[in-house]
Amino acid sequence: MSRLEFWLGQVAPYPQIPTGEEIESAWVTLPNSSYDPAVGRRLYGDYLEQLVLAERLGYDGVVVEEHHQSAYGTMPAPNLMAAAAVARTERIRVAVVGNSLPLQANPLRAAEEIAMLDVLSGGRIVAGLVRGTGMDYYSSPANPAWSLDRFWEGHDLIVRAWAEAGPFAWQGDHFHLPFVNPWPRPLQQPHPPVWLPGTGAVEMIERAAERRYPFMMVLAAHWFVKAAFDRYRQAAEECGYQAAPEQLACAVPVYVGSSEEAAHREARPHVEWLFRTGLKVPAYHWFPPGYMTKESFAQMLGTKAEYEMKDHWELTYDELVEQRYVIVGSRETVIERLTELSDDLGAGIVVGAGGHIGSMPHEQTVEGMQRMAEEVFPAFRG
């Protein structure tokens, strides 16, 4: 059994919406008249309390994620939630999986805000730079066809701005800045750790391996995560090194109950909300024209056909459990499933470890986090 790092994931969902059967999508077109700011205020308080509790329970880190125009995640500005978490904690690392670079007019704003968070936190920030989901491009003037190139140029600009003293000029294909000279500079030098999240796109996996960045695979079946991690390891070997477990992160909802029966009874409605309502996204929202490269699009279609893959909202609860989209069970079952992640997949980081899932109430989330910390963490530490 290998050591695992456990990170609490937080997307701040808003569950008080019609079911997936009643709506076209929980993203983009869901009328925001369904949102009650008074309820949202209470939910933000609960979600922030969970982030703070993670430090007291001994989690290795917390992750806050960026999403737009969505009930799945009401955190369009994750740096704000990270700042709130940083102010209420002292030791725990905080990963901002956001700052969607192609959607921003000037990537230096992200460089400045992450650097400011890093200084405020005493060097506890992880920069999870993202391209943004396809759905995000329906609420932005950014063109999805050039978003990949724009992402990498924004990434290169930010990393150089962190690591190199300014001022210097930047003349790229997408950004033109006569003076790059951000204040403050990050406390961690040459820059905060960078993670790259993804859903299995070949080019993102390979580019992460080339830069030796941890790659975080998001909400996928066990076999699909394995294929992505194998590709990362292969790309690492082609770059002349052997990938380490801490470079492979798996974002998977985990719930541990007092017994096998209790775990499934308690988790089932909230897992179903997450996948069948929160992730109800039609393909024409998920993949706007030009968003995917020809290689990745062909691979996705071929894989779906070969393995008869269903969309998230079409999966039954039993399928989600059997295919390891989620890990639910007693202490013994959860430890066994997490051991598969470490020993079979080679993962070293689990994001979503016992935290909030879909429509789960705050009190139930807290109980799950406590059981996770007390009954599961010790098996992967020491």
Residue bearing tokens 């009954």 = 375
Q: How much is the average pLDDT of 165-188?
A: 96
* pTM of the predicted structure, to 2 decimals: 0.94
Whether 300 shows a pLDDT value over 90: the answer reads no
Per-residue confidence band for 299, with pLDDT thresholds at 50, 70 and 90? confident
Indicate the DSSP class of residue 185.
P
Whether 62 shows a pLDDT value over 80: the answer reads yes
Host domain of residue 209:
5-380
pLDDT, tens only, 241-282: 999 999 999 999 999 999 999 999 999 999 999 999 999 999
Structurally, the chain folds into a number of domains equal to: 1
What CATH number corresponds to the domain at position 270? 3.20.20.30
List C-alpha distances in Å: 161 to 184, 191, 192, 243, 283. Answer: 11, 9, 12, 27, 37
Dihedral through CA 151, CA 108, CA 140, CA 281, nearest 10? 50
Per-residue confidence band for 307, with pLDDT thresholds at 50, 70 and 90? low
Q: How much is the average pLDDT of 84-109?
A: 95
| Mean of per-residue pLDDT scores for the chain | 94
